[in-house]
Amino acid sequence: MNQTISIAYVENINLFGAIIPIGQISIRYYAICILLGMLAGYAMAIFLSKWHYIAGTVVDRLFIGLVIFGLVGARLFYVLFNLENYSAEPINAFLIFRGGLAIFGMIIACLLYIWAYTSRFKFNFFEFLDFLAPSVLIGQIIGRFGNLFNYESYGGPTKVFWKMFVPETANIYPNIAEQYFHPTFLYEIIPNFILLIVILYNYDRLTNKRSGLVFAAYAVGYGVIRMITELFRLDALVFSLPESAVFEISNITIDSIRVSQLAALLLALIGILVYYTRHKTIYLKRTMAEVNV
């Protein structure tokens, strides 16, 4: 499908193609966005690792594992919450080029890999989380542009001037006869970029206090951002509650939950817990020092 991307009123301008043909192989712009995000994340990790006196070779080995675990985790998370789409033909679960990646699956898998790696080689787990958190964030920012090229992850119909044009051939909601939708990918990119700037600006101050505070800032910040942006999406992963768990609030029946919102809430709570425990530890140490004086 030949993609026509536009924000506002430039829907007739063919800015991008869906694929770049190279012989019998086609490279999609979505894949390019993900690849650029990975490379930007790697460059950020190399830069920040020097801040912690961590050798570049360590980052190289770590990066390979994170890419593999991240992709597997992102795909597995998506498939688990879309089993009905893969039960008939399970082989489709392995066709990652057809789309279907969940960022929270990537985060969970990467956290497990970092924990295993730092435990194996006796590194500081929280210190590694600190210099890798901005790397993940910049990768998310760049990778999100893939939603623009794929015409996905957009919100409901809108008439705001920054609206996103979605052609009829790409609209997966036949019951919504509209052409313009909320560009939710942009709603996530902009605050994520602001969060990245804030973290980098305060990186020295945060890391001088205690390792883990940079990750805490990322977890809380991104968790809150995602909880809000998820409200706009039409294609959010939804988990249906069992009949016994269905409840009502003000005559509104709650029979399902948005998976990414719940995951974002848990991430934010983890960030708060990490900040509280790590920040509290340094505070107690300073108090003891004062007593000894």
Q: What is the mean pLDDT of the chain?
A: 80
**Domain annotation covers residue 39:** yes
Classify residue 18: in a domain, yes or no. Answer: no
19 found inside a domain: no
Indicate whether 1 belongs to any domain. no
The answer to whether residue 223 is domain-embedded is yes
Count of other CB atoms within 10 angstroms of residue 256:
13
Asked whether the predicted pLDDT for residue 140 surpasses 90, the reply is yes
Residue 174 belongs to what domain range?
A: 6-12+24-292
pTM: 0.82
C-alpha distances in Å from residue 285, one per residue of 211, 279, 289 = 14, 10, 6
What's the pLDDT tens digit per position in 200-248? 999 998 888 789 999 999 999 999 999 999 888 887 777 666 665 555 6
- Mean predicted confidence (pLDDT) in 43-68: 91
User: Is residue 79 classed as helix, strand or coil in its secondary structure?
Assistant: helix
Number of domains in the chain: 1
Residue 229 domain flag:
yes
Residue 156 DSSP class: S
Q: In this predicted structure, which of 21-30, 81-90, 266-275, 281-290 has the lowest mean pLDDT? A: 281-290
Q: Report the alpha-carbon distance of residue 196 to residue 265 in Å, rounded.
A: 19
Residue 24 has pLDDT above 60, yes or no: no
Task: Report the largest interatomic distance among the alpha carbons of the chain, rounded to a whole angstrom.
Answer: 74
Give residues with Cβ within 8 angstroms of 228, minimum separation 6.
187
DSSP string, 193-256: HHHHHHHHHTHHHHHHH-TTHHHHHHHHHHHHHHHHHTTTBSS--EEEPPGGG-EEETTEEE-E
Q: How far, in Å, are 114, 117, 126, 210, 235 from residue 121 at the CA level? A: 11, 6, 14, 21, 41
pLDDT at 247: 58
Tell me what pLDDT residue 87 has. 74
Q: What pLDDT was estimated at residue 138?
A: 96
Q: What pLDDT is attached to residue 65?
A: 92
